[in-house]
């Protein structure tokens, strides 16, 4: 067998918080970290933190972080023997992994062949059925024509979903409640799939209702070892973007964890998966788990798993990539406590999550027992509109869910980011919401329980409280300054913006 080569320098083909996360792992392993950056990221923290940094192009991702030729050329020129793709950008691009393989650069992730299989949901599903991994009832591969679609749907039972084999993040999914609708949707879905992915490759699944998204973290090495690192509950999402992730899931006990975890490892082994990955499941209200896909990357929410296992997933990725064997048995892994992550995005949750970019003149990150912040923010930094809106991950750990929840909530209150809008107000509302507390979650959690309205109500209440405090302070002050101008000002506001009447103000003044 080939003698495994120790990695000495890693080029990080990414930016933001995940680039920093990877740089830290490099430092812990005495590996040289090499950052690349676009015009927009000249002053970004990953550039300042890395051992070396190289400019790779203009701000648009296609000219920098997605520019395969430029990244490979840089890696070779500067002597990087491995590339870590992070998440997003080139992380799930099998062509990029293949290019690395050809150029003799270690791609820190699965093989291009495994990525091709995990990227093709339909091929993947057929393999899973053969491996006795439970999948959603529906077609065994692509559905070529309307008649076939009708037959399969009748067997699976309506409503059904038409899914594109090359979709992702909810793209290319349509629902049909009956045969008539199926006929219409099938034509439109074929068209859409052809426009988006160049080919019409549709499959059909029974539509599962009232579902949770629960995923299992996986690690597989080149010696044939496969482990699962337990589950993450990711049901709280908006438009297929996860907002809050935590572990353990309130609907997973140790028996289910063991059972579904083993299925997840089997799923990964069926596609010869290597390195860190995630098996995604949908859980229906009967409590049945259905495999939907394997994500062939390190995920945004990986810290939640790190906090309850004590493992360093990026370090493990690097060790596996350089041929090392996983040095713990499944039975040795113990889930310790609970962890919660909120993805803080530079978006305005009061304005339908419109991106909010620009200078952050000042900020304060929270600290304290059980608090971890993965972020690229610093006072005076700039949030770019060219890239995704994730600016910080706030992760808490507690001995149980309640302790983690309180720590997370209080840390959210400490978090201050000036100059831009963020999703923090929404998280404050979620972290105190009854259904969240009770673990009553589903992929439509936000709409089902009116979380946006609850956030707006809370903000209005807060504004009112602040206005009252301001008026009270003003009046308090005016008592010691009984000049006519101030008295006049008081009489002009019989009702403050907060709804306080003059009468209530008077009562307050007397007390």
- Return the active site residues: 297
Phi-psi region of 377 (alpha: psi -120 to 50; beta: other; left: phi over 0): beta
Cβ(134)–Cβ(289) below 8 Å: yes
Element (H, E) at 131: none
Query: Partners of 282 in the beta sheet?
Result: 213, 290
The CA distance from 245 to 304, in Å, is: 7
Assess whether the previous peptide bond of 303 is cis (omega < 30° from 0).
no
C-alpha dihedral (352, 373, 244, 299), degrees to nearest 10: 100
Q: Which residue in this structure is represented by tokens 């003799």? A: 104
Element (H, E) at 279: strand 275-283
Q: Tell me the HSE value of 341 on the side-chain side, using a 13 A CA sphere.
A: 30
Q: List Cα–Cα distances, 405 to 364, 369, 374, 457, 458, in angstroms.
A: 20, 13, 18, 21, 19
Task: List residues binding ligand MV4 (CB under 6 A).
Answer: 136, 161, 170, 173, 205-208, 211, 213, 237, 240, 282, 292, 443
The CA distance from 419 to 184, in Å, is: 47
Three-state DSSP class for 205?
Answer: strand
101: nearest Cα among 92, 88, 110, 89 = 110
Smallest distance, Å, CB 207 to ligand MV4?
5
Could you count the other beta carbons within 10 Å of the beta carbon of residue 252? 25
The CA distance from 135 to 25, in Å, is: 36
Cβ(304)–Cβ(244) below 8 Å: no
Q: List Cα–Cα distances, 508 to 473, 478, 502, in angstroms.
A: 11, 13, 10
């Amino acid at each position: 067998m080939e003698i495994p080569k120790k990695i000495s320098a890693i080029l990080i083909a990414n930016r933001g918080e995940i680039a920093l996360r990877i740089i830290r792992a490099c430092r812990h392993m005495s590996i040289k970290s090499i950052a690349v950056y676009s015009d927009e990221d000249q002053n970004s923290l990953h550039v300042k933190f890395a051992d070396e940094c190289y400019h790779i192009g203009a701000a648009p991702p296609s000219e920098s972080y997605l520019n395969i030729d430029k990244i490979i050329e840089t890696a070779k020129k500067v002597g990087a023997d491995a590339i870590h793709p992070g998440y997003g950008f080139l992380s799930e691009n099998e062509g990029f992994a293949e290019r690395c393989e050809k150029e003799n650069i270690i791609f820190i992730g699965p093989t291009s062949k495994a990525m091709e299989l995990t990227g093709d949901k339909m091929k993947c599903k057929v393999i899973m059925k053969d491996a006795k991994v439970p999948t959603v009832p529906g077609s065994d591969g692509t559905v070529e024509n309307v008649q076939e679609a009708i037959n399969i749907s009748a067997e699976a039972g309506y409503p059904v979903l038409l899914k594109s084999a090359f979709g992702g993040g909810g793209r290319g999914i349509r629902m049909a409640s009956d045969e008539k609708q199926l006929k219409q949707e099938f034509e439109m879905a074929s068209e859409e799939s052809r426009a988006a992915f160049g080919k019409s490759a549709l499959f059909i699944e029974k539509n599962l209702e009232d579902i949770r998204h629960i995923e299992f973290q996986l690690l597989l090495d080149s010696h044939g070892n496969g482990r699962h690192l337990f589950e993450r509950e990711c049901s709280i999402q908006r438009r297929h973007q996860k907002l809050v992730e935590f572990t353990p899931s309130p609907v997973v006990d140790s028996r289910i964890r063991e059972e579904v975890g083993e299925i997840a490892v089997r799923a990964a082994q069926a596609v010869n998966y290597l390195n860190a990955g995630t098996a995604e499941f949908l859980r229906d209200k009967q409590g049945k788990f259905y495999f939907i896909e394997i994500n062939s990357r390190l995920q945004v929410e990986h810290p939640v798993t790190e906090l309850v296992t004590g493992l360093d997933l990026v370090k493990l990725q690097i060790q596996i990539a350089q041929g090392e064997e996983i040095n713990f048995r499944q039975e040795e892994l113990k889930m310790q406590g609970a962890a919660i992550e909120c993805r803080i995005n530079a978006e305005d949750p009061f304005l339908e999550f419109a991106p909010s970019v620009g200078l952050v003149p000042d900020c304060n990150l929270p600290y304290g027992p059980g608090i971890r912040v993965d972020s690229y923010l610093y006072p005076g930094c700039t949030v770019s509109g060219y890239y995704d809106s994730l600016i910080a991950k706030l992760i808490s750990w507690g001995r149980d869910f309640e302790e983690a929840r309180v720590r997370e909530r209080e840390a959210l209150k400490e978090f201050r980011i000036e100059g831009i809008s963020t999703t923090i107000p929404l998280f404050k509302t979620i972290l105190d919401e009854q259904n969240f507390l009770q673990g009553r979650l589903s992929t439509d959690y936000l709409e089902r329980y009116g979380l946006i309205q609850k956030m707006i109500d809370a903000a209005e209440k807060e504004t009112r409280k602040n206005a009252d405090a301001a008026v009270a302070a003003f009046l308090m002050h005016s008592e010691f300054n009984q000049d006519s101008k101030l008295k006049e000002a008081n009489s002009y506001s019989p009702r403050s913006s907060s709804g306080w009447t003059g009468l209530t103000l008077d009562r307050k003044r007397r007390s």
